[in-house]
């Protein structure tokens, strides 16, 4: 009996170029939510649930920012502070065009998990307020802050990457900028002769 292969770009981790990175990324994304939601089943200690959820959120933030983003979609970001002025600046890094081909499955998993987690944490914040469980609100606000920061940073990084890829292809592949430059140089030498 033959098993049907999933189509390219579908949500099947078996099609991933980096399955261990993808599964670790998804595990961090899901584990903080699961501990927050179901931690009270295993322990009545709110402090323990808070600490474990915070550690998982911090690990998710670090792993996503420094490992999963770079391996799954070729994007990375960080924040630098200018020592002389104290100004903070976001720095975006993307893989060079042509050096990394992003797997459509990795990309779909990455962006789906990237945008769904902040939505889930916002829903949990609303639920905490409605149920008057305000002592859980600080944890949920920290989770929202971390997940939205990563979502915004990777969105900006992706836009920066797309803009630099367009500019790079225009300059280096003989595109629009190359044609304009060659026409200008041709005219310059034509006018010099006449």
Give tens-digit pLDDT for 138-147: 999 999 999 9
b/e per residue, 18-53, with b = 16+ CB within 10 A?
Answer: beebbebbbebbebbbebbeebeeeeeeeeebbebb
- C-beta separation of 117 from 61 below 8 A: no
- CA pair distance 132, 40, nearest whole angstrom: 16
Domain that holds residue 134: 13-193
- CA pair distance 193, 189, nearest whole angstrom: 6
Q: Please report whether residue 3 resides in a domain.
A: no
Q: Please report whether residue 1 resides in a domain.
A: no
Q: Please report whether residue 119 resides in a domain.
A: yes
Greatest Cα pair distance, the chain, in angstroms, is 90
Half-sphere exposure of 178 (CA within 13 A, CB side): 10
Predicted local distance difference test score (pLDDT) of residue 82: 86
Predicted local distance difference test score (pLDDT) of residue 7: 64
Predicted local distance difference test score (pLDDT) of residue 159: 85
Q: Please report whether residue 32 resides in a domain.
A: yes
Q: Please report whether residue 118 resides in a domain.
A: yes
Predicted local distance difference test score (pLDDT) of residue 40: 83
CA angle, corner 162, sides to 158 and 163, nearest 5?
115
* Cβ-based burial of 149 (10 A; exposed 0-12, middle 13-18, buried ≥19): middle
Helix (H) or strand (E) holding 88: strand 88-94
Q: Please report whether residue 83 resides in a domain.
A: yes
- C-beta separation of 160 from 92 below 8 A: yes
Q: Please report whether residue 159 resides in a domain.
A: yes
- Predicted TM-score of the model (pTM): 0.74
Low pLDDT (below 70) residues in the chain: 1-11, 13, 97-98, 163-194
Q: How many domains does the chain have?
A: 1
Strand partners, 93: 76
Predicted local distance difference test score (pLDDT) of residue 97: 67
- C-beta separation of 29 from 109 below 8 A: no
Q: Please report whether residue 2 resides in a domain.
A: no
């Amino acid at each position: 009996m033959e098993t049907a292969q999933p189509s390219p770009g579908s949500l099947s981790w078996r099609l991933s170029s980096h399955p261990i990175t993808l599964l670790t990324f998804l595990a961090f994304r899901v584990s903080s939510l699961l501990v927050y939601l179901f931690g009270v089943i295993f322990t009545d200690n709110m402090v323990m649930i808070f600490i474990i959820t915070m550690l998982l959120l911090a690990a998710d933030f670090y792993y996503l920012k420094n490992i999963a983003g770079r391996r799954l979609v070729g994007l990375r970001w960080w924040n630098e502070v200018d020592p002389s002025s104290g100004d903070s600046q976001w720095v975006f890094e993307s893989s060079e065009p042509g050096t990394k081909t992003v797997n459509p499955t990795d990309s779909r998993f990455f962006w789906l998990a990237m945008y769904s987690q902040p939505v889930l944490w916002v829903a949990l914040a609303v639920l905490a307020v409605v149920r008057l469980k305000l002592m859980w609100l600080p944890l949920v606000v920290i989770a929202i802050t971390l997940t939205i920061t990563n979502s915004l940073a990777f969105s900006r990084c992706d836009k920066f990457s797309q803009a630099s890829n367009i500019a790079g292809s225009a300059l280096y592949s003989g595109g629009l900028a190359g044609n304009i430059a060659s026409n200008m140089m041709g005219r310059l030498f034509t006018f010099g002769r006449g």
